Chains A and B, each alone.
Chain A
Amino acid sequence: MKNDDGPGRFVFPAWTNLIRPLLAVILVTVPAYLVVLVWLGGSPKTTDVGYRPEQPVPFSHAVHAGQLGMDCRYCHTTVEKAAFAAVPPTQTCMNCHKQVRSTSPRLLAVRESYASGLPIPWVKVHDLPDYTYFNHSAHVRAGVACASCHGRIDTMEVVQQVQPLSMGWCLDCHRNPDPHLRPPELVTAMDWVAPGDPAELGRRLRETAGINPSVDCWTCHR
């Protein structure tokens, strides 16, 4: 083929031959990279898990729930009858701390609150979107353990989020609750392990208690 480059003719210089393979590579890698970025970077596993805010009072669950072995329900009294597992009033703290460590500077905020009657501004850790209605009582009564969602609180000096609490994560359990069920009276036991196959036990519990978690939208969104 004759190659008469007229005055006006623009010809791709030789180096542009590189562009083709390069283009191919880019077209493959860049989208892949973006997908991975969004997939991992955007998932609640990355954004939410490990959220560990500073609290106004250096309250240690490790001490109270762990070493002292207090039951969750001593403070979170409403967990079995209400949607919210209410954070306890200052009163509750002072039940003990009138005597125990009654002068500790770390409890200053608590004593102030007790005196003034103003609340202690705790920071919310497990924070669902406002259009999501979660009911503690329903889950606890069905035998879903505190630890299933909140992790080993009894080992946490400062509470942090250990589960993504994403919609998909909720659905996984709602679709197949068996491995996460235990006898309701044991829900607050932190170190409980199922005797034998948890799924098998869960199946029996589900069938006896007639638990059938719904995956309808309005179960959680209204």
Chain B
Amino acid sequence: MSAVPLPLDNTLEAPGTRAPLVLGTSDLASITEQVCEIAERPRPSREWLLAFGISASVTAVLFAMVGYLVWHGIGVWGVNQPVAWGFAIINFVFWVGIGHAGTLISAILFLFRQKWRTSINRFAEAMTIFAVICAGLFPAIHVGRPWFEYWLAPLPNQMQMWPNFRSPLLWDVFAVSTYFTVSLMFWYMGMVPDLATLRDRATSKIRQIAYGIASLGWRGSGRHWHRYERAYLLLAALATPLVLSVHSVVSFDFAVSQLPGWHATIFPPYFVAGAIFSGFAMVLTLLLPVRRIFKLESLITPRHLDNMAKIILATGSMVGYSYIIEFFVAWYSGNPYEGFTFLNRALGPYAWSYWIMFTCNAIIPQLLWFKRFRQSPWLLLVISIFVNIGMWFERFVIVVTSLSRDFLPSSWGYYMPTWVDALTFLGSFGLFFTLFLLFLRYLPIVAMAEVKSVIPAAGLELGPHHGHGQYWGEIPHQHDEQEGR
């Protein structure tokens, strides 16, 4: 098999030859080895334990805060009249946004036959699941009487009362829960073959049984693969519209109201772009260290980073464009309330938050026009972190500045978060990283089966009749060969 020597910059587009998606001397076996080895280490590294200890205790803080909140009431937060929504909703939108990259990568890129996704999709999907879990937490705790949340569900009852189907909050419940379910299935489905590999390599009885049950008796027969790919394709088709719908619906929470600064028709596309933007940024933020620590450079190549950077650049520019067009629309509409809202964002008491947002989201990503920034993992990491910060502040700006000064000057107010707000937000990161560390420890963090399909060893470059997108049928044999060895 033709091995491509490291290092090689596979981000160059040499005409004629297709740049390889995987580098190094990785053949089918070595990939299995490389990925499984991470999950098979007998005991976690000291770093992992440290990280896990920290994130677990931060999670504990989160639950403490939630308990405190439910015991005393929403008043322990900074929300008030007129700013009745604060950190909770900001964090919700923030996390949901992050929850977009995963399914986008796995579903949309899959349908678009973007092979390079294979090395990162598992990872991104995992992140999606965890982000949506964090997101789901906030709407659940932000209501005044959480014990009555079931009233949002259309259950028949002796009161003969139904929920109000006109309310975007209700749409949210359905949109987010659907998205979560589908993403979860998609993620798990994709993982079954790899779980089977782990099972097969497992030495301890517990791992055998655990992975055995998890892999649902996968044997990699042709029929298995056939069904698997059908289902995968269908799920991808199912997930794709959700990627777009979820954040559109989330944006309706604002767009459907009549509040200046919320009531805007561009919100759905603007939110979706922002979501993808923040999602990819978060993927990078997590991917870069992992890639380094677990030595996955050969699977997650500069080309992957390059592509993701480009997507960030593209969506970042869309977001920046939205920022500017909002001002134009506010001015062009002639609506004085709208006009003031945006002036107030840029120059009012919350101007600082607006300019943090603008710098992080609209200006800094523009650096990615330069190849050097797309190349260097370190610079990418810094930029992606900035984007994360910026995207959180975007939601802060939208929620708080619009509410703090609406129609009647007499009811203008100022919102100040409390320590409970802050700790709850911090805690949500604790939960996110706890789950993520568990994922790193026990599950295959790269979709081996899929990566194998794009390495040279898969023989995809042989023969004229082969080409991207036509190799599905072949993998079972490869797989069986593996077993055969």
Q: Contact residues of A with B, CB < 8 Å? A: 1, 4, 6, 8-12, 39, 43-44, 164, 166-169, 171
B212 touches A12 (CB 8 A): yes
A10 touches B211 (CB 8 A): yes
A53 to B430: give the CA distance in the assembly, Å: 53
Q: How far is the CB of A128 from chain B (nearest CB, A)?
A: 13
A12 to B214: give the CA distance in the assembly, Å: 11
Known: A1-B219, A4-B483, A8-B202. A44 touches B158 (CB 8 A): yes
* Residue B149 CB within 8 A of the other chain: no
Q: In the assembled complex, which residues on chain B have CB atoms less than 8 Å from the CB atom of A6? A: 200, 483
Query: In the complex, how many residue pairs between chain A and chain B have their CB atoms under 8 Å apart?
Result: 43
A9 touches B199 (CB 8 A): yes
Q: A43-B158, A168-B158, A168-B159 are in contact. List 19 more A-B contacts (CB 8 A).
A: A1-B219, A8-B201, A8-B202, A8-B208, A9-B199, A9-B200, A9-B208, A9-B212, A10-B202, A10-B208, A10-B211, A10-B212, A12-B212, A12-B217, A164-B158, A167-B159, A167-B161, A168-B157, A168-B160
Interface of A is mostly: loop
Q: In the assembled complex, which residues on chain A have CB atoms less than 8 Å from the CB atom of B156? A: 39
Chain B contact residue count (CB 8 A cutoff) = 20
| CB-CB nearest in chain A for B219 | A1
Q: How far is the CB of A222 from chain B (nearest CB, A)?
A: 17
* Residue B359 CB within 8 A of the other chain: no
A10 touches B219 (CB 8 A): no
A44 to B160: give the CA distance in the assembly, Å: 13
Q: How far is the CB of A38 from chain B (nearest CB, A)?
A: 9
Mask, B176-213, CB within 8 Å of A = 1, is 00000000000000000000000111110000110111
Q: In the assembled complex, which residues on chain A have CB atoms less than 8 Å from the CB atom of B200? A: 6, 8-9
Q: In the assembled complex, which residues on chain B have CB atoms less than 8 Å from the CB atom of A9? A: 199-200, 208, 212
Q: In the assembled complex, which residues on chain A have CB atoms less than 8 Å from the CB atom of B199? A: 8-10
| CB-CB nearest in chain A for B199 | A10
Q: How far is the CB of B225 from chain A (nearest CB, A)?
A: 12
B160 touches A11 (CB 8 A): no
Known: A1-B219, A11-B217, A12-B217. A167 touches B160 (CB 8 A): yes
Taking a contact as CB atoms closer than 8 A, the residue among B159, B201, B221 that contacts A1 in the complex is B221
| CB-CB nearest in chain A for B156 | A39
A169 to B160: give the CA distance in the assembly, Å: 9
Q: In the assembled complex, which residues on chain B have CB atoms less than 8 Å from the CB atom of A164? A: 158
A8 touches B203 (CB 8 A): yes
Q: How far is the CB of B296 from chain A (nearest CB, A)?
A: 24
Interface of B is mostly: loop
Q: In the assembled complex, which residues on chain A have CB atoms less than 8 Å from the CB atom of B203? A: 8
Q: In the assembled complex, which residues on chain A have CB atoms less than 8 Å from the CB atom of B221? A: 1
A97 to B297: give the CA distance in the assembly, Å: 99
A171 touches B160 (CB 8 A): yes
Taking a contact as CB atoms closer than 8 A, the residue among A4, A11, A167 that contacts B212 in the complex is A11
Q: In the assembled complex, which residues on chain A have CB atoms less than 8 Å from the CB atom of B208? A: 8-10
A171 to B217: give the CA distance in the assembly, Å: 55
A10 to B212: give the CA distance in the assembly, Å: 5
A72 to B212: give the CA distance in the assembly, Å: 74
Q: In the assembled complex, which residues on chain B have CB atoms less than 8 Å from the CB atom of A10? A: 199, 202, 208-209, 211-213
Closest 4 A-B residue pairs measured CB to CB? A10-B212, A166-B158, A10-B208, A167-B159
A75 to B256: give the CA distance in the assembly, Å: 57
Q: In the assembled complex, which residues on chain A have CB atoms less than 8 Å from the CB atom of B157? A: 168
A168 to B157: give the CA distance in the assembly, Å: 8
Q: In the assembled complex, which residues on chain A have CB atoms less than 8 Å from the CB atom of B209? A: 10
A9 to B221: give the CA distance in the assembly, Å: 15
Q: In the assembled complex, which residues on chain B have CB atoms less than 8 Å from the CB atom of A39? A: 156
Most chain B beta carbons < 10 A, residue from A8, A164, A166, A168: A8
| CB-CB nearest in chain A for B216 | A12
Q: How far is the CB of B216 from chain A (nearest CB, A)?
A: 9
Mask, B216-255, CB within 8 Å of A = 1, is 0101010000000000000000000000000000000000
Q: In the assembled complex, which residues on chain A have CB atoms less than 8 Å from the CB atom of B161? A: 167
A44 to B208: give the CA distance in the assembly, Å: 51
18 A-B pairs whose Cβ atoms sit less than 8 Å apart in the complex: A4-B483, A6-B483, A8-B199, A8-B201, A8-B203, A9-B200, A9-B208, A9-B212, A10-B209, A10-B212, A10-B213, A11-B212, A39-B156, A44-B158, A164-B158, A166-B158, A167-B159, A168-B157
| CB-CB nearest in chain B for A44 | B158
A164 to B160: give the CA distance in the assembly, Å: 14
